[in-house]
Amino acid sequence: MKRFKQSKSINIFTGICLLVLGFSVYVYSQEHPSQEHPWPPKKTAKEETKNVSSEFSKAVESYIKETIKSTGTLPVRDIGGKNVKISGELEFVRIHKEKIVLYKDNTYFACADFIAKSADVETNYDLDFFMAKTKDGWKLNKLLLHKINGELQMTYRNNEPSPLEKGHLPSQEHP
């Protein structure tokens, strides 16, 4: 008989717990209707960054191909703002996708490698692209000469393009 009383009290306790749990779920569902939050959930910041980086990379590659096709070169400037003449046929090699960063606001940065072929001479160029994401697509803000044949032509200080100082090693190579 004692065992039956314990079983009955456990069943009553379990029933009360289920009743409280059911009531809690009901109250919570009234406070947070199912349509309040979108499903599936929005992309996480990491997924969004990955998508923008991929989109930016494609925009840079598209810009490169279209501009080289129409003009034969790219509108590269040095740190002083002067146009840089690239001799020979410019060939795109790659974008350093691991170095794509959000530079400022909606402006992204990427470093890309090129080879210019002129007669028997090949010159390696490292160019820095700054493009902004606008409502109309991606827009080139600036395109800077970073290296020629591996030799730095400019550097960055506090994430800003900066001229090289003779006798000083650069504090940062990229933003």
Tokens 């902004």 sit on residue? 132
Q: Give pLDDT < 70 ranges for the chain.
A: 1-49, 167-175
Class of domain 45-162: alpha beta
Q: For residue 42, what pLDDT is reported? A: 42
Domain ranges of the chain: 1-42, 45-162
* CB distance 156 to 173 below 8 Å: yes
3-class DSSP state for residue 17?
helix
Q: For residue 37, what pLDDT is reported? A: 35
Q: For residue 104, what pLDDT is reported? A: 86
Q: Is the pTM of this model over 0.75?
A: no
Q: For residue 11, what pLDDT is reported? A: 66
